[in-house]
Amino acid sequence: MSSHLIRSFVAVDVFSPEIVRGVRAIQQDLLEAGVLGRPVDPESLHITLIFLGELESPMVERVRECLSGIEVRPMRLLLRGVGYFPGGSRVNTIWIGVEDIDSRLMAVQREVVSRLSGLGFKPDKDFKPHITILRVKGIRNKPEVLSRLSQLSSHTVGEITVDRVKLKKSTLRPDGPIYEDLQVYGPTQSA
């Protein structure tokens, strides 16, 4: 008997009306410049602290328990600078950079990774906080898109304070992923 797998990750949600407006404007600008792809819903923006992969329910419960009681202090984040992966002239993912004003985001990410390392989870790369805003399928006018990305490289979207870390589930769908909170950790921890 095969168990249902849950695509899981630990993240910090980033939501405010100011951020949503700023991200929508950048997405629209880049789509008009020639990016062909799917914008991320600005109301679902998040910073992934660690991607856990496809987990069976008992492992999700173990992750939930490992993170129980984690201290999450308010984190001031500045969303500034639009960039892309993998780099050079290849554009697969467009993101907004995150500046950790008081270093609390980095501290909570290290704590999450430390707590989960006993379950065998390791980050797949160095943590570079960012928020994905566009998944690129192709580019119609590469010189124009690269020029716009260069112009946006120091653009400030806004500042936000967040005080919750979430264990999240991602359900992949043709029209984009659907995210669901499995557990919230913060000042008022809830199921």
The residue among 113, 83, 86, 114 whose CA lies nearest residue 98 is 83
The identity of residue 116, as a single letter, is L
CB-hemisphere CA count at 13 Å for 101?
13
Residue 184: both structure tokens together: 């919230």
By three-state DSSP, how is residue 82 classified? Answer: strand
The enclosing H or E element of 31 equals: helix 17-33
Question: Tokens standing for 79?
Answer: 């969303």
State the sign of the Cα–Cα–Cα–Cα dihedral 52, 162, 25, 98: negative
Report the alpha-carbon distance of residue 104 to residue 63 in Å, rounded.
Answer: 21
List the catalytic residues: 46, 130
